[in-house]
Every structure is written in C-alpha cells, then in structure tokens.
Amino acid sequence: MVTTDSVVAWLHKLDDIYTENKSYLTELDSAIGDADHGINMARGFSKVTEALEQQPPKDIGAACKTVSMTLIKTVGGASGPLYGTFFLKGSMQTVGKTELDAPGLLELFAAGVDGVVARGKAVLEDKTMVDAWLPAIEAMRAAVDKGITPMLAAGVEAAEQGMKATVALVARKGRASYLGERSKDHQDPGATSTYLMLKAASETLAR
C-alpha cells in the first residue's frame, strides 16, 4: 500500500530530482521554450518541501492539495498551472485517504492527467508533457492488476518512450509551436519532467 508518508517521501524526492536536473531541463527548454523549465520546477518543489514541513499533511489528499497550491503560487510559465492542476485533481481523488492500493494510485494519476489534458488542451504528438503522460497511464492501467511496483515500472517505461518520441515531433502547442519545423530534433522539457516525476514515484512508492 502507498501511505501518506510514502507520498510525502515521493514529493521530497521530486525536490531532489528537479534540483539535480535543473540545468538539464533548462537546457532542453532553451532550445524550444523560455529556458526556465528547470529553474521553475526546482524552485516549485523546493517550496513544496518547505510547505510540507511547515504543515505536515494528515492524508494523501491534503499532501496533493499542498503541492497544487504551492506550485500554482510559485511556478511561472505553463508548468505551474499544469502540474498544479495535476495535483489538485489527484487531491480530489484522495481526500481523507491515508493508504492507496494499486487501483487507488492509478486513480490519483489518471485524474491528474485528465486535468492536465483539460487545462492544456493538448493531444498526443503535440510535443508536450501529454506525450509522456498518456502512454504512462495506458501502461499503468494495463498493469494495475499486477500491483503497485509493476504498475509504476510499466508507467515509467512508457513515459520514457513517449519522452524520447517527442524528439522527432513538430510542436503544435505552447511556446515551441512558434518555431514550427525548427522545434524538431529537440526533446520536450515537459515530457522530460513528467518522466522524472514518474521515475521518482517508482523509486519511492513501489511496494
């Protein structure tokens, strides 16, 4: 089972992961965006850590809501509202819950991704974070009966494939879309931060 404590551990891990990958994500974003994705993600999850330490969450829904509010307040660009929406929708699925089984964890992620899609209006092959999220959810849904660890592993593998597939795409959404054909041959930073988020989940939530 995934517990409140393990979700908080995942969120702390994201602080570390985005700090470690700040330059990498910013480098990816400098090619096709505003060159601030890594900076924004690192700053946002540093603030998430502070918020969680100031007010330890009583349940998983409260933890997700804290992340949502913090990211929306502190992260600029598209990533703050999109990841903020992801965690807000996830919080609605987990209100009052202190444990999640594999189907419950899938519901958290799937609701979050539905929120991202509704907010960003992106579809597959638009060269956005959705190119990592949608294959990951599909793979997790197919593996949910195997338990949390195999389900997350399947999601990570699918997200990585989706992330790498963005290299060949021409962007149709966001700042990168202004570049047209010049957005090809670059990996999408949002899909990359999504892959890193799922990889951290697999490392901390797997049971």
Contact 61, 42 (CB under 8 A): no
Task: State phi, psi for 174 to the nearest 5 degrees.
Answer: 75, -175
pLDDT in tens, the chain (207 residues): 999 999 999 999 999 999 999 999 999 988 767 778 999 999 999 999 999 999 999 999 999 999 999 999 998 778 889 999 999 999 999 999 999 999 999 999 999 999 999 988 887 877 889 999 999 999 999 999 999 999 999 999 999 999 999 997 766 666 565 455 655 768 999 999 999 999 999 999 976
The residues, any chain, with a CB within 8 Å of residue 33's CB and separated by 6 or more, are: 77, 174, 175, 176, 189
Residue with tokens 């090619």: 31
Q: How many CB atoms lie within 10 A of CB 178?
A: 11
pLDDT at 55: 93
Closest CA to 109 of 89, 139, 81: 89
Give SS3 for 207. coil
- Maximal CA-CA distance, the chain: 48
pLDDT at 52: 97
Map out the domains of the chain with their CATH numbers.
Answer: 2-205 (1.25.40.340)
- Residue 13 corresponds to which tokens in the numbers above? 């891990």
pLDDT at 178: 47
pLDDT at 39: 93
Give SS3 for 37. helix
- Angle (nearest 5°) at CA 185 between 184 and 189: 90
